[in-house]
Amino acid sequence: MAISVSHYGFMPDGKEVKLYSISNNNDVTLQLINLGATLQSLYTPDKYGRVNDITIGFDSLYGHLNFTDYQGKVVGRYANRIANGSFSLGGKKYQLTQNEKDKTCLHSAGEFSDAVWDAIIADDNAVEFSYTSPDGTSGFEGNLTAKVRYTLTEDNKVVIEYSAVCDKDTVMNFTNHVYFNLNGSAMSDVLDHEMQMNASHYVPIDADSIPTGEIREVKGTAFDFNAPCTIGKRIYDNDEQLTLARGYDHNFCLCHKEGEADATVKEPVSGRVLKMYTDLPGVQLYTGNFLDGSVIGKGGIPIVKHAGFCLETQFYPDSPNQPDFPSCVFKAGEEFKSTTVFAVSVEE
């Protein structure tokens, strides 16, 4: 294994952004940049051995800075939405930045994803990023230090390990917002990708994409991916939940079956297979519903609707306001620790 480091660009304030490339012996290359601890690209062979990048995003800092929809970025300290940008903890009410529709706090107003993280080469196949969020940022309390370590293994796994500690009680939820397209380019959308997911329930949302509080069975709905189904087959079904989100943009409650991936996605023409494993209770399946082709991405290709899908592993959205959801509260000094794996392979 080998890691190479190169210059990627300069931020408006002069800070340097670097590109880290890790390659294994199977033609898989993982590229990372320290802006947003971003998974910049993942090159993998298709069933004929042709190597392409299976992530959608930007090939310049300019793209990341001006047009991002969190492509490849790490999101924290609380990924996803918090209703009305407020919650109570320990009897105290917190008012956060309302960066979506002047109402919701989405992805903690982009703090972690917009930050330039420190980086170290942690091993011959691993890079570790760290960032400290000062007390009070976006309305959250406590100094919080987060680390994200990416490893590329010889068996073609991208292992993402998150750890974080805060010096005050707080809520935490870290994810990676990478958009995949197993075709290896954004020339075609992901509607033909076949998805299988071990999730018996999902979390319905309101018009602001905030959970209603219900945890609904997927059985008999367009949200049932227990048996494999293409992403596109039911995406335009007459289902209020799909209409509200213009497609899938929902948290699925994972069953975590021993020895099985939580989700498996296959693209029939390239033969590429992506398996996702996580120890977190949920995953946001987002099918790029709000992408509209107005932004130019990698290779000069417009990023159209459904150009990629995200599997954002997470605590359920708005958990700080939902006492019945798994708790995302961490005491002062208590460590947040979580691992998500994306494993790539091919199938004939």
Q: Which residues are tagged catalytic?
A: 177, 312
- Out of 78, 286, 325, 342, the residue judged to bind ligand GLA by CB under 6 A: 286
Q: CB within 8 A of 223, min separation 6: which ones?
A: 199, 202, 216, 241, 248, 250, 252
> Under a CB-based contact definition with an 8 Å cutoff, are residues 165 and 40 in contact?
no
Q: Which residues pair with 165 in a beta bridge?
A: 145
Q: Which is nearer to ligand GLA, 18 or 246 (CB)?
A: 246
Asked whether position 59 contacts ligand GLA by CB under 6 A, the answer is no
Q: What span, in angstroms and rounded, lies between the C-alpha atoms of 121 and 146? A: 16
Say how far residue 266 (Cα) sits from the centre of its chain: 18
> Under a CB-based contact definition with an 8 Å cutoff, are residues 77 and 174 in contact?
yes
- Out of 18, 65, 69, 97, the residue judged to bind ligand GLA by CB under 6 A: 69
What's the min distance (Å) between Cβ of 177 and ligand GLA? Answer: 6
Asked whether position 151 contacts ligand GLA by CB under 6 A, the answer is no
Residue type, 159: V
Asked whether position 290 contacts ligand GLA by CB under 6 A, the answer is yes
Buried b (16+ CB within 10 A) or exposed e, 267-284: beebbbbbbbbbebbbbb
What's the min distance (Å) between Cβ of 292 and ligand GLA? Answer: 10
Q: Which is nearer to ligand GLA, 87 or 309 (CB)?
A: 309
- Out of 133, 270, 284, 322, the residue judged to bind ligand GLA by CB under 6 A: 284
> Under a CB-based contact definition with an 8 Å cutoff, are residues 205 and 316 in contact?
no
Asked whether position 249 contacts ligand GLA by CB under 6 A, the answer is yes
Q: Which is nearer to ligand GLA, 142 or 211 (CB)?
A: 211
Please choose, out of 108-116, 232-240, 282-290, 295-303, the segment that lies near ligand GLA by the rule CB under 6 A: 282-290
Residues that bind ligand GLA (CB under 6 A): 69-70, 177, 209, 249, 284, 286, 290
